[in-house]
Chains A and B, each alone.
Chain A
C-alpha cells in the first residue's frame, strides 16, 4: 500500500467516524438534511433565511395560492399551490401566525410539475404564504385565512 492509498483510507475512516458523531448529536432528527433551523425559526423571514439562504421575496400573482377564506377547523386547512413560472426548484408553505411558521418545503424534481396540494394546521387567523424558488429568485403570494377554531392547541 502506497502512502497516498493509506492517506485516503485514513481520511475515509475519519469522515466515517465524524458522521457517526454528528448523528449522535441529533437524536431528534433522523436525517441530517431535515432543515431543523428553518423549522425551529419563530418568524417567516428567519425561516426563509435558514431554508433558502434568502428572504427577499417578490410578491407575484404568478404564484397561484388557493386557501379557504374561512377555516372553521384550523387543524385541517386545505392549501394548493401552483405556478406557471419556469424552472421551479421548490415550493414552500408558511403560516405566518403559527409559533413555527414554516410548515413544509417541497423540492420540485425535474420531471415533477410545480403543483402541490396538502392540508395544514393554523393556530389562529393569519396569512398563508407560498414561496416559489426559481433560478431568478423567490416569488411569493399570501392569502388571509380566518380561523374559527385554532388547530394547534387541540
Chain B
C-alpha cells in the first residue's frame, strides 16, 4: 500500500501537484513519557519529483514539517496523461516512490 496520495491537475499550461504523505515526522526532541528519554528522530529529509525526467520538486525537510506531511507545488508544462515520479527519503534511510498521472 502506498503511503503517498497525489493529485496533479494541468490547467492553462500549469500543473498543480498536491501530495499527502503518511509519516510520523518525529523531530527527535519530543519526550517519551514512559521512559523519560527522547523519542528517536524519524522524519522525511528529502523529497523530489520529476516530470519527463525534469526536476519539478527538490526539497529538504526537518521534523518541523507536520505529521503526515502535505505539500503542494506548481510547474510550467505537463498535460493530462503525463506521469510524475515522486520520492521521499527519511533519516532512517526508509524511502518510498510513487507515480501519478496528470489529469
Contact = CB atoms under 8 A, between A and B. Distances in A.
Q: Do A and B assemble together? A: yes
A118 B69 CA distance: 7
A99 B85 CA distance: 33
Interface string B59-87: 11111111101111111110000000000
Contacts, number: 117
Given A109-B54, A113-B14, A75 B91 contact: no
Contacts of B56: 109, 111-112
B60 A34 contact: yes
Interface in A96-151: 98-100, 102-107, 109-113, 115-121, 151
A152 B72 CA distance: 23
Given A34-B45, A109-B54, A118-B72, A98 B64 contact: yes
Contacts of B14: 113
Given A39-B62, A111-B54, A29 B91 contact: yes
A105 B60 contact: yes
A31 B89 contact: yes
A67 to B, nearest CB: 13
A51 to B, nearest CB: 9
Interface residues of B, number: 37
A135 to B, nearest CB: 18
Interface size class of A (residues with CB under 8 A): 35 or more
Interface string A4-36: 000000000000000000000000111101110
A113 B62 contact: no
B71 A118 contact: yes
A113 B64 contact: no
A140 B75 CA distance: 22
A76 interface: yes
Contacts of A53: none
Contacts of A35: 60
B30 A116 contact: no
A99 B41 CA distance: 14
A92 B29 CA distance: 22
A142 B14 CA distance: 28
Contacts of B75: 109, 111-113
Interface of B: 14, 25, 27, 29-31, 41, 45-46, 51, 54-67, 69-77, 89-91, 93
